[in-house]
Amino acid sequence: MKRIFIGIKIEPDGTLLRMINSLKAVLVNDKINWVDQANIHITLAFLGDTEEERITVAAIMLRQVCQGFGVFSFNLSGAGVFKNFHDPRVIWTGIDNSAELGRLNHLVVTGLRDTGFSIEDRPFKPHITIGRIKSIKDPDLLRRALERYRDITFQNVSVREVILFESILKPGGPEYKPSGIFRLS
Which CATH number belongs to the domain containing residue 59 in this structure? Answer: 3.90.1140.10
Q: Is the pLDDT of residue 1 over 90?
A: yes
- Please, what is the average pLDDT of the chain? 95
Point out the catalytic residue in the list 20, 27, 30, 41.
41
Q: Is the pLDDT of residue 173 over 90?
A: no
**Catalytic residue at 127?**
yes
Q: How far apart are CA 43 and CA 9, in angstroms?
A: 9
pTM for the model: 0.93
Q: How far apart are CA 178 and CA 86, in angstroms?
A: 36
Q: Which pLDDT score is estimated for 185?
A: 84
The tally of domains found in the chain comes to 1
**Domain limits for position 55:** 2-183
Q: Evaluate whether 92 touches 130 at the Cβ level (below 8 Å).
A: yes
Query: Which percentage of the chain shows pLDDT scores above 70?
Result: 100
Q: Which pLDDT score is estimated for 105?
A: 97
Q: Which pLDDT score is estimated for 97?
A: 81
3-class SS of residue 109: helix
Point out the catalytic residue in the list 30, 58, 126, 127.
127
Bridge partners of residue 49, in order along the sequence: 3
